[in-house]
Structure 1
Amino acid sequence: MNAVLLGIRRFARHVNLYLSGVMGADAYRKYVEHHRDSGHQGEHMTEREFWRDRTDRQDSNPQGRCC
C-alpha cells in the first residue's frame, strides 16, 4: 500500500510540474536561472517586476494567444 501511495505522489508531482510549465508558472524561476547562468551583472528583477514586464511586453506585442 505504501508503494502505491508513493507512486501516486510521484505521478501528481510530475503532473504539477508539467502543468506549471504549460501555464508559464515557472517562467520567473527560469528567468532567474538564466540571469544567473548567463553571467549578467547586477541584480535580477523581483518577481513582481518580472511579471509586470512580461505583461507589458505581451500587451505591446500581441501575438496569438487564447486570452
Structure 2
Amino acid sequence: MSAIVEGLRGVARYLGGVMGADAYQKYLEHYAAAGHRSPPLTEREFWRDRTDRQDSNPQGRCC
C-alpha cells in the first residue's frame, strides 16, 4: 500500500513541476545560491511579478 502512496506522491510532484507550482521554491533556492543581500520577494510578490512579466511578454504556451 505504501508503494502506491509513494507512487501517487511522485506523480503529484511531477505534475506540480510541470505546472510550475514549485517555481517559488526554486526561486528561493536560486536566490540563496546567488548570494543576494536584500530579502527575497514574498511569495505573493513573486507570483505577481511572474504573472506581470508573462502578460507583458507573451510567449508560446500550451494553455
What is the TM-score normalised by the length of structure 2? 0.94
* Larger of the two Rg values belongs to structure: 1
Deviation at residue 37 of structure 1 after TM alignment: 1.1
In the alignment, what sits opposite 1:19?
A: 15
In the alignment, what sits opposite 1:44?
A: 40
Please give the alpha-carbon distance, in whole angstroms, between the structure 2 residues aligned to 1:27 and 1:36: 14
Structure 1 runs of 4+ off > 6 angstroms?
A: none
- Structure 1: which amino acid aligns with 2:61? R
Aligned partner (choices 40, 56, 59) of residue 60 of structure 1: 56
Deviation at residue 36 of structure 1 after TM alignment: 0.6
Where in structure 2 are there 5+ consecutive unaligned residues?
A: none
Please give the alpha-carbon distance, in whole angstroms, between the structure 2 residues aligned to 1:19 and 1:66: 14
Deviation at residue 11 of structure 1 after TM alignment: 0.1
Count of equivalent residues:
63
- Matched-pair identity in %: 65
Per-residue CA deviation, residues 7-44 of structure 1 (Å, 9 max, x unaligned), is 00110110011000000000000000100111111100
How well do the aligned residues superpose, as a CA RMSD in angstroms? Answer: 0.8
Where in structure 1 are there 5+ consecutive unaligned residues?
A: none
